Each structure stands twice: as structure tokens, then as C-alpha cells.
Amino acid sequence: MDPRRSARTVSDPKVRQVGFFTPAAPPERSCSDPPRQLDPIQSLSPSSAQVNDHSPSVDSVSPVMIPPPPHNNSDTLFRTDLQVTSPKTAFSYSAKTVTLPTENEDVTSSLSPSRKVVTVKSSSSYPCVKASSVPASELTTVSVVNLPPGISEKAGGASVEVLNDRPVSSKSLKEKTSKAERRALQEAQRAAKAAAKAEGTKASSAASKVVTSANTKPSKAAKPSSQKNDGSQVAAFEKKVGDRAPEKDRKKDAPHPRMQYDDTSRVEKAKKRAVVKQTEVRNRVELFRHLPQYEHGTQLPDLETKFFELDPMHPAVYKVGLQYLSGDIWGGNARCIAMFQAFKEAIKDYSTPPEKTLIRDLTARISSYVSFLIECRPLSNSMGNAIKFLKNRIAKLPLVLSESEAKATLMSDVDRFINEKIIIAEKVIVKHAVTKIRDGDVLLTYGASSVVEMILLHAHELGKQFRVVVVDSRPKLEGQLLLRRLVRKGLSCTYTHVNAVSCIMQEVTRVFLGASSVLSNGTVYSRVGTACVAMVAHAFRVPVLVCCEAYKFHERVQLDSICFNELGNPEAISKVHGREDINYLDGFVNQEKLQLLNLVYDATPSDYISMIITDYGMIPPTSVPVIVREYRREHLWS
């Protein structure tokens, strides 16, 4: 390890020399409080906090709650009358039976008198429904699922179990005692002793908390026998404890984003958890074995058939996942926007299950969504940043906020992120970049970057005279779509494939490139082929301008495009769509000796990049760490 580390420090100075690094600076800045100014909700007097509990059982006694800093009391009044919302009750199926009078007059009214309610004896608990009792309804419930809503059942079960444990553990003392139980008992006794000692004013409740918490683990083994429970405070505390365990499990659920896929045992484990069926492709290129690659075409149908079975998945998230998987949406910005819009929908429809706190449960929910999306397609760095932002916003929600307020805050946060970090950022980039376009320029772009497209269109609108060379590559040929849109707007374009880039580069005066991510050593991580274009441009001494929003910046350092990458569908390069006559590889795809490699991204070293245009201005690639650091200071994450 050591020699390697020392080797790394050699490359480090490059990063360090630009940064104007003063170690005291970041904490200092973080103390000055932009977030508090942003949302006044956080600043609330503790008294209002007690008044405004939306679910009193959870919050009133929760020992975890930190009283918010005392502040001006002006808000309290306004707060209190917002707190009318009652906790949502668990929905029941019976609510569905419609008792509206029929209102479809357009359908021959002569028929309606003949319509009658069907009486059906529903068995078991349901008494016979008389026709006369429900005169106007058309629908008759004939079969009912008598299950209580699953979530509340689970949560309730947990708390009941815990509540029961005291009598149980004391009983188990007399009977046989396992090691764990004995230890639990010991601890309980010790705690009780401590409690007895501290028998002050508030000690009793604290003691019971300690006792129960100490006993939580062994109680799972013990069978709950009695139904008696006591002490609402104990219940309140226990809910917290009960909550934590499933959440941890869920966290484990998400496979680590950078899992090494050549580690078979881990892959097996991840596969067991996976929602999407993942069949590994057999022949993978040696160098890229650590990246996930699945048989294309098997995932989508399988996921589709599971459509209704993925209960916890929000439909909007599911739809986005499907679109990722099928390749209906691509591009960093679009994927990020789609994801955030889906999350927004999910937040809108979210309601905190009883006996849970919004902050934790929603975070867990979002994590499960994210792991589902990762299974559909690995996340890009930009999306990782966006998710970090959202989770951070959730974690920073003031506890006193009611559910609806919290949701509204989060939704506006999501909107704000899309607006500020993507849309406005793009506008700023366009404004900067346009200054670099002069009359008579020949601009080259590769692939289809949304920012570059906007730059070109804007420059055209400004009346600048220039030509565009769109360089494209198989298999996606996304450049054609860009070309289509540019030509329709009246730009004069040249279209060529990346193979010819060295020939066309002679007449080019500037290269505009998009990026999936910019890493802190200045490496640009982008669509495969970008490095090639940048290098050719460098050789021809053509300036390479990379346009990238700051939210796509990442603090990671990457030296090659092997460690982290994404493998596309190998069939996409072995087959030529629509050209049946040149499919020479038909039947060869499953050959043992043939390994197909369809890389999605590549890394362009910073040496080949003249300038990075971002929403903070135009910077040299060596200044990326500054942006990463500055950007973090905005309390988006960290």
C-alpha cells in the first residue's frame, strides 16, 4: 500500500497548486448559515415544537429529538395553525364501495330503472347485504380481502413484540435461560439498579427505556406470550428501536454502486437481492470483468412481467426504470431530470406509515428506489450527486415540520435543483460559450450533448456565421438526432463518423464537447469516443472546450476508463440495425473465443482539454477541484 500511496502523491501537486487551499476556510464557511436563511422553518422555538407534534406518540417523548435552537418567536403563531393535519389513517378496502347514485344520463335512461343491485351473500364475517340497503350503487362487493394494511401490521408487530419482552424475560429466568437471555437479564438488572439509584423526577421513564432497549435483541427469540403492555413512553421509544432494524436491512439491500463484478460470491449475493433478473453475459473482455454486464433483452421482459408485483415501487419510478432499461431515455441531464421528476411524484404520493418518522422512512424509500434504478442502469456521477442532494435535504428537514409541509419543501427543493443546477446552469454556460464563437468559425461536436446543442442554436439566433461539424459514432448514432434538429433550425452542418475525425479536423477552429462528468483531476468522463476526438483536436492545435454543468463535477480522481465504466449491449455493435446483408457475426456471438466490448464511456485526460465551461465560468481543467470544493460549500451535500 505504501509505495502506491507515495506514487499517488506525485500526481497530487497538480491538484493542489490550483486550489488556494486554506484548511480553515471550509468550516468557517459552513458556520455561516445559508440554509437557515433559506428555510425559516428550521428556526423554531422549542415550545412550538412541543405544540406542533403531528403524531404525538412518536415525537413527544422521542429522546432522539434535539430541541431546535431558540429563535425569534414570531413564527410560532404561524406554525401552530398549520398543524391541523391529522395523521393519515391506514386505508381500508371498504372505502372503495361506491354508493354514488348513478349519474350517467347519457346512457339511455330507460335502462337505469332496470338496473339493480346484485345481492350476494358474502361469507364469513360479512353479513348478508340486502338489495334495499344499497339502493343506487351499481357495484357490489362480493369478495373482500380482510387483511390489515401490511405496513401498519409490520410496524405494530414490532412494537408489540418489544412491549411484551419484559414479562417474557422475567419468566425465562425461572425456566431455562440461554446465554443471550441471561446476559440481557443481567443488563436489565444493572439498568434497573442504575435507574433505582437515579430515582429522581424523570428517572423512571428513562429506566424503562434502558431496560427495554437492552432486551430488544433477545426478545426476538423469546415467544411473546402476554398481550399486556404498559407505559406509553416505552412504546414511543420502542418504535424507534423497532424502526431501525428494517431500515438497516434496506440499506444493505442496495448493492454497492461500485461493486466488483468479477467477485463471484458478491455477485451471487447481489443477484439474490435484485429486482431485475440479471443474467450475466458469459464472454466478457478480460480487462472489464469487474463491470456488470447482463444479457440484453432478458431483463426487460422479466421486469415487465413483474409490473404489479413490485408493490413498494412507485409507478413513476418504475416507469423511469423501464425507460432506462430499454434505452428510451439517455443523456445525463435527461436521466437526472426524469429521475427527479419521478422522485417528486413519489414524494407527492408519500405518506409516512404509522409509527415511523418521515425523515428516516423517506430516506429508506428513496434508497430502495435508487437501488432499483441502479439495477436498471448504473447511475451516472451526476445522478449520484443529485441523489446526495435530495437525501441531504431530507435529512436536514426540521423535525417539527408536518408531513405535508415537509413534502412541499422537498418537492420545491427538487424543482429548485432542476431549475438551478440544470436549466439555469445551462443558460449560463450558453452565455459563456457563445462568446467563444466568432464569425467564420467551424465548430466540431461529438455525439449529442444538450448543452452544446443549446450553444449552437443560441449562437445561430444571435446571427453568428459559423458551420458545424457533427461527429457521430455507432451504435447509438445519436448525432443524427442532433443533426436533424440543427438542420431544421437552419444551421449549416457537416456530418461524419468518428473514423474520419482526423481528416475533418484540419478545417475545424473549435471543438465543443459535452460531458457526463468532470472529475477532480480534470479528467472528462464522457461518451466513448470523446477522448479520441479531443486528442485529435489537441494534435491539430484546435482548442477543446468542454461544456459541463457544475452538478456533474465529482471529487473522484480517475486516470483511466477501465476502473469505472459501463458496458453496453454487445449485440449493438455486433449487429448492424437494418442491414441484414452485412451481419457477418450471426451465430458467432456465443462463441467461446469471441468477446465483444461495447464501452459506453471513456475518460479524456485533462492535457487534451483547453477549457471547461461551467456555470461558474470558464476554467482550466486544473481548477476543477476548486469548483468541487466551492460547490460543496453551498450545502448541497457534505
The C-alpha atoms of residue 518 and residue 549 are separated, in whole angstroms, by 9
Residue span 450-489 as binding mask against other proteins, x where in contact by CB under 8 A, dash where not: x--x---------------------------x---x--xx
Residue 580 binds to other proteins (criterion: CB under 8 A)? no
Residue 306 binds to other proteins (criterion: CB under 8 A)? yes
Residue 406 binds to other proteins (criterion: CB under 8 A)? no
Residues near 254 by beta carbon (within 8 Å), at least 6 away in sequence: 367, 368, 370, 371, 374
Residue 283 binds to other proteins (criterion: CB under 8 A)? no
Binding to other proteins (CB under 8 A) within 511-570 occurs at: none
Residue number, 288 or 324, with CB nearest to other proteins: 324
Closest separation in Å from C-beta 318 to other proteins:
7
Residue 579 binds to other proteins (criterion: CB under 8 A)? no
Q: Which of 250, 319, 632, 633 binds other proteins (CB under 8 A)?
A: 319
- Nearest alpha-carbon partner for 445 in 485, 483, 489: 483
Straight-line distance from the first to the last Cα atom of the chain, in angstroms, rounded to the nearest whole number: 28
Residue 431 binds to other proteins (criterion: CB under 8 A)? no
Q: Which of 80, 298, 404, 419 binds other proteins (CB under 8 A)?
A: 419
Q: Which of 415, 461, 507, 560 binds other proteins (CB under 8 A)?
A: 415
The C-alpha atoms of residue 312 and residue 367 are separated, in whole angstroms, by 12
Closest separation in Å from C-beta 586 to other proteins:
19
Strands 544-547 and 510-514: parallel
Residue 149 binds to other proteins (criterion: CB under 8 A)? no
The C-alpha atoms of residue 362 and residue 507 are separated, in whole angstroms, by 54
Residue 150 binds to other proteins (criterion: CB under 8 A)? no
Closest separation in Å from C-beta 103 to other proteins:
6
Three-point CA angle 217, 223, 225, nearest 5°: 125
Residue 618 binds to other proteins (criterion: CB under 8 A)? no
Residue number, 258 or 489, with CB nearest to other proteins: 489
- Nearest alpha-carbon partner for 378 in 525, 560, 532, 263: 525
Three-point CA angle 107, 110, 113, nearest 5°: 105
Residue 330 binds to other proteins (criterion: CB under 8 A)? yes
The C-alpha atoms of residue 631 and residue 392 are separated, in whole angstroms, by 14
> Interacting stretch for other proteins, rule CB under 8 A, among 170-178, 417-425, 429-437, 467-475?
417-425
Q: Which of 105, 268, 286, 309 binds other proteins (CB under 8 A)?
A: 309
How many C-beta atoms lie closer than 10 Å to residue 316's C-beta? 19
Q: Which of 11, 102, 435, 638 binds other proteins (CB under 8 A)?
A: 102
Residue span 207-226 as binding mask against other proteins, x where in contact by CB under 8 A, dash where not: --------------------
Residue 38 binds to other proteins (criterion: CB under 8 A)? no
Residue 341 binds to other proteins (criterion: CB under 8 A)? yes
Residue number, 481 or 504, with CB nearest to other proteins: 481
514, exposed or middle or buried, with CB in 10 Å at 0-12, 13-18, 19+?
Answer: buried
Residue 422 binds to other proteins (criterion: CB under 8 A)? yes
Q: Is 63 helix (H, G, I), strand (E, B) or coil?
A: coil
Residue number, 237 or 350, with CB nearest to other proteins: 350
356, exposed or middle or buried, with CB in 10 Å at 0-12, 13-18, 19+?
Answer: buried
How many C-beta atoms lie closer than 10 Å to residue 402's C-beta? 19
Buried b (16+ CB within 10 A) or exposed e, 183-208: ebbebbeebeeebeeeeeeeeebbbb
User: Are the C-beta atoms of 296 and 571 separated by less than 8 Å?
Assistant: yes
Q: What are phi and psi of 418, to 5 degrees?
A: -60, -45
The C-alpha atoms of residue 20 and residue 615 are separated, in whole angstroms, by 20
Residue number, 161 or 566, with CB nearest to other proteins: 566
Binding to other proteins (CB under 8 A) within 117-136 occurs at: 118-124
Residue 581 binds to other proteins (criterion: CB under 8 A)? no
Q: Which of 257, 315, 440, 620 binds other proteins (CB under 8 A)?
A: 315
Closest separation in Å from C-beta 116 to other proteins:
6
- Nearest alpha-carbon partner for 173 in 164, 182, 165: 182
Residue span 352-391 as binding mask against other proteins, x where in contact by CB under 8 A, dash where not: ----------------------------------------
